[in-house]
Structure 1
Amino acid sequence: MTSFPQYDHYVLVSLDTLRSDAIAANPLKLWPTTHAGQKPPSTPLLDRMVAEGTFLPNAISAAPYTSAAHATLLTGRWPHRHGVFEFFNRRLRGETLFTWARRRGLRTYFKSDFPIILGEHLGFTDDVDEYVVEDDDEYFSRLDTTSPSLSFLHFGSLHIPYGFHNLRYGGDAYRQRVAELSAGIPAGGAALGDRLVETYRSGEDLELLLAYKRIVLHHYESGDYETLFSLYLEGVETFMRTRFEPFMERLMERMQGRRVLVVLFGDHGEEYDASSYGHFNTMAEGVTRVPVLFWGPGVSAGTHRERIRTVDVAPTIGAVLGGVQERLDGVPLVETVFGGAAPRPREAYVQAHVSDTAQFVDFQQKLLESGRKPGSLPHVCYAEAVYDGDIKLSRQNYVYTGGPVGTWSLAPCEPRITVERFDTDLVPRRDEWNDEAARALALLDAYGGHFEAGPDGSGDGDPVVTDEIRSQLRNMGYRI
């Protein structure tokens, strides 16, 4: 296609931690196989958008955590080219959707629920005109619908604490739910090692978050994965009802009379099993598979089960928006979004670069206190996966050893390779080693070679700590 619909506004909606099959209208469900008997969440607005838009429920994320996944979504480049492949280390390099939009004369907005991750620290705010932290009302107060714009709206309410995010949005319901869940937790128990934060928390808000994390730790250490997954699904429905649907209704009212393209996606999903603690350390399909949805005038309605990659999202928007002046790794899906053609499945890659949680917490605190990186935080490629045809090959390179979650140490292991083949419902099933698996392993080795050679570009940069950030971090107890 050489001509596309024109839009006054581009609205990108990131629902952090949204599994593709958490959308009720998604016909490709994974969780009834792994978590049978769970109550599905109600997602009426998303269901309507699925019916009216181009729904791509089989999108593979580039990473199972927020920073690297979003950097790929915003740039259309693989992590070794944009530089953000770890959780919290290097700064984003190169152009983004914001760069392209500015080049075309659009005003750019970024509303982030996780400013420590998706903010100035890692370079995500470059070419952003209006940056808003955790404040839906403030975004609307700044939004000028009379001028063309691109908005990136990030919601973190599907992340722990599931459905609530903070006291502002969770209120008394958040307090009550934490109290109910805590009542079943015996005193003592495993120490909480995971004290990482994605946003600013102080006082009661921080205590509630840590209490929720203790609840999760208790159930995980007890092997009660079904309770944890039910909390996740409960959180999906809570967020949809209390925050997402009212926000989108308000947005559409503000945009009335304008031509708007909405692009909605998840960055990674969520899973609990013996080798999956939420999302950061796993190649589980419920984590790596996310939804992508294009919704607006001129979009071809339909659901396409063929695999795409999240690296394809930015090139698709860029093809319509214009302003792209660099080589991208993803491919535009314009024939699908505006013509209804089935996308051609391509190889997809996922990697999880992790560090010891204790080292991570110490590193994050020192960095935020000083404003400079205390050396380099060691990361390793813990696990990785490649998709090729109907084969998924996963490889685990390290194991966690030691005590409870958050106090683990990393140790190398003999590579643990898992071969799966997708059935007719796109559920992965264990498969034997074969020629297809050998080809997939060669592809994965070639992809990993880019990281061994070093990320493209020079230097990894220091995350930026502003005076405003310092002030808010003091409220969290950091000595700054």
Structure 2
Amino acid sequence: MTGYPQYDHYVLVSLDTLRSDAIAANPLKLWPRTHSAQQAPRTPLLDQMVAEGAFLPNAISAAPYTSAAHATLLTGRWPHRHRVYEFFNRRLRGETVFTWAHRRGLRTYFKSDFPIILGKHLGFTDDVDEYVVEDDDEYFSRLDTSAPSLSFLHFGSLHIPYGFHNLHYGGDAYRRRVAELAADIPASEAALGDRLVETYRSGEDLELLLRYKRIVLHHYENGNYDTLFSLYLEGVETFMRTRFEPFMERLMERMRGRRVLVVLFGDHGEEYDASSYGHFNTMAEGVTRVPVLFWGPEVSAGTHQERIRTVDVAPTIGAVLGGVQERLDGVPLVETVFDGTSPRPREAFVQAHVSDTAQFVDFQHKLLESGRKPGSLPHVCYAEAVYDGDVKVSRQNYLYTGGPVGTWSLARCEPRITAERFDADLVPHRSEWSEEAAHALALLDTYGSHFEADAAEHQGDDPVATADIRAQLRDMGYRI
């Protein structure tokens, strides 16, 4: 037992691709300064939860893509320690919130909208009793509220295709919206380089996703960044209205009469500009800054604008649960959650590790043909950032060069280093180089050295393509 409030059920809600200022109640807005004439999404249920819970709108994610970001959220360790710092390469190492819940005798549930990258292949389902893929109804059919539990509920509907996720949830509205958007762009016979998917798709679902991606690519290559961002904001409201709010109402009805702690967060945000294509390749503040919210009985209501890190989420849950038996990198925020004490800002780090597109395709085909990994897929640290005090220093180490987005090759470049300072509204502004920036850069160098050491030490324990992965990827159009 711990000295903190105890609950019958712990519910972790991940809203994939939710940037912090997409929540209407968040006072720290970034996007109105970079995208003009946009209609703000309505998020009434989230606004209510923000008013009643401990809201931390200035949380810095450890990575701008799903697998690495979630590994940090679920372990409380930096990526070089849990090892999932690439998109799909290494297996998760160490304990998770599910491990700690098991030690307390809780039943564990994991509902994932992205089973390829948030599933067994990267080790995310260890210590999970019930694993559900993309099926909200199936989760409720398995949920036993009479026994203590911890649920992790991942929603991918804020990701491309914005607001819809798939035909099951998007239906005819999804078909109509893709047709409307496609009618405004010229037809193209060129092969689409970006055929990556996070979940199993075939038939019409895959066709619709690739049509949507082609629409996004057209607008990006024509510099229509405001158009793309409006699609994202539209998707936020669509998801909230059609899926998130009905789901949460149903969940709270099932949990009626029981003590429930809800921990809600985003894993990364979304941005479109000259150097940001959604999220995976950018250190833009709208991508790296995500929301964290604790909501439930005895939680001290309040909004805390001080910076935290997503690596702090699991230690906070672990402090309440108990059962943690290893060193964590994050710090518990229990005084903030239950006493209303403002958190102390700490150093935060973000890195984007990517692979060359041609190498990735070749690696994937060999892996799928043999069922074994052909060595290890080379990745590079494309871009990275550090937060220290009111300074943010970003460094870009590589560039994508060549053809359309999704088929570019990686090229090493002279490091492009930028320094920014945050104003009173936590808006970053470019600033002159300073001693504070130099100190922050030295911290980033030290952080990066851990990844080099890990890569040299560990070569195995990586995912293997099973027959079902090969079959699903054939359905997606890969020739294997």
Report the alpha carbon displacement of residue 310 of structure 1 after superposing the two structures with TM.
Answer: 0.1
Aligned to 1:187: 187
Unaligned 5+ segments in structure 2 are none
Residues 373 and 464, structure 2, Cα contact 8 Å, conserved in 1 = no
CA distance in structure 2 between the aligned counterparts of 1:57 and 1:470, rounded to whole angstroms? 40
Q: Which residue of 2 aligns with 1:99?
A: 99
Cα distance in 2 between the residues matched to 1:14 and 1:364:
28
TM-score (norm 2): 0.97
**Residues in 2 aligned to 1:188 and 1:466: alpha-carbon distance in whole angstroms:** 34
**SS of 2:454 mapped into structure 1:** coil
Counterparts in 2 of 1:63-82, with a 5 A limit? Answer: 63-82=63-82
1:415 aligns with 2:415: yes
Q: 2-side partners of 1:456 and 1:94: how far apart?
A: 19
Amino acid at match of 1:391: V
How many angstroms does 1:319 deviate by?
A: 0.1
> Which residue number in structure 2 is paired with residue 242 of structure 1?
242
Partner residue, 1:340: 340
Where do residues 34-433 of structure 1 align in structure 2 (5 Å cutoff)?
34-188=34-188, 191-433=191-433
**Residues 467/452 of structure 1: CA separation in 2 closer, same or farther (3 Å cut):** closer
Matched residue, 2:13:
13
1:364, distance to aligned residue in structure 2 (A): 3.1
What is the CA–CA distance in structure 2 between the aligned matches of 1:457 and 1:475, rounded to whole Å? 36
Deviation at 1:360, TM superposition (A): 2.2
User: Closer, same or farther in 2 for the Cα pair 1:173/1:361, shift >3 Å?
Assistant: farther
> Could you report, residue by residue, the CA deviation over 1:138-184 in whole angstroms, capped at 9, with x for unpaired residues?
00001010111110000000000000000000000000000000011
Query: Secondary structure, in 3 states, of the residue corresponding to 1:454?
Result: helix
Superposition TM-score, scaled by structure 1 size: 0.97
Aligned partners of 2:129, 2:477: CA distance in 1, in Å? 30
- How far residue 453 of structure 1 moved from its aligned partner, in angstroms, is 1.5
SS for the counterpart of 1:248 is helix
For residues 479 and 397 of structure 1, the distance between their equivalents in structure 2, rounded to whole angstroms, comes to 32
How many angstroms does 1:371 deviate by?
2.7
Displacement of 1:407: 1.1
Q: 1:260 to 1:368 in 2, by over 3 A?
A: farther
Partner of 2:443: 443
Q: Residues 245-293 of structure 1, C-alpha deviation per residue, up to 9 Å, x if partnerless? A: 0000010011111100000000000000000000000000000000000
Runs of 4+ off more than 3 Å: 455-460, 464-480
Q: CA RMSD in A?
A: 1.5
8 A contact 2:335–2:341 mirrored in 1: yes
TM-superposition CA deviations, 1:201-229 (whole Å, max 9, x none): 00000000000000000000000000000
- State the 1:358 CA deviation: 3.2
Contact 1:66/1:117, CA 8 A, preserved across alignment: yes
Closer/same/farther in 2, CA of residues 3 and 467 from structure 1, 3 Å limit? same
Q: C-alpha distance in 1, partners of 2:469/2:398? A: 34
Q: Would you say the 8 A contact 1:13–1:154 is kept in 2?
A: yes
- Measure the CA separation in 1 of the matches of 2:401 and 2:448: 24
Distance change (3 Å), C-alpha of 1:458 and 1:360: closer
- Secondary structure at the aligned position of 1:383 is classed as strand
Task: Tell me, yes or no, if the aligned pair for 2:266 and 2:292 is still in contact at 8 Å.
Answer: yes
CA drift of 1:188 comes to 2.3
Q: Quick one: structure 1 residues 42 and 49, their matched pair in 2 at CA, closer, same or farther if it must change by over 3 Å? A: same
Please give the alpha-carbon distance, in whole angstroms, between the structure 2 residues aligned to 1:144 and 1:469: 30
Once the two structures are superposed, residues 391-444 of structure 1 have per-residue CA deviations (whole angstroms, 9 ceiling, x without a partner) of 000000111111110111111111110100000100000100011001001100
CA contact (8 A) 2:367 2:464 kept: no
**Is the 8 Å Cα contact of residues 83 and 455 (structure 1) preserved in structure 2?**
no
Query: Does the Cα contact within 8 Å between 1:336 and 1:342 map onto a contact in 2?
Result: yes
The SS at the match of 2:420 is: strand
CA shift for structure 1 position 456: 9.3
**Contact 1:283-1:383 within 8 A present in 2 as well:** yes
CA distance in 2, matches of 1:261, 1:47: 17
Q: Which moved more, 1:164-173 or 1:349-358?
A: 349-358
Where do 5+ consecutive residues of structure 1 fail to align? Answer: none
User: CA, structure 1 residues 462+452, in 2 after alignment: closer, same or farther (shift >3 Å)?
Assistant: closer
| Residue identity opposite 2:393 in structure 1 | L
Decide whether aligned partners of structure 1 residues 365 and 151 sit closer, same or farther in structure 2, where only a CA change above 3 A counts: farther
The aligned counterpart of 2:25 is 25
Partners of 1:426 and 1:318 in 2: CA distance: 29
Q: Which amino acid aligns with 1:193?
A: G
CA distance in 2, matches of 1:301, 1:415: 43
Overall identity of the aligned pairs, in %: 87
- Quick check: 1:158–1:165 contact (8 Å CA) kept in 2? yes
Query: 1:468 offset after TM fit, Å?
Result: 4.5
Instruction: Mark the CA change 1:369 to 1:246 in structure 2 (over 3 Å): closer, same or farther.
Output: farther
Deviation at 1:362, TM superposition (A): 3.7
Give how far 1:357 is off. 2.3
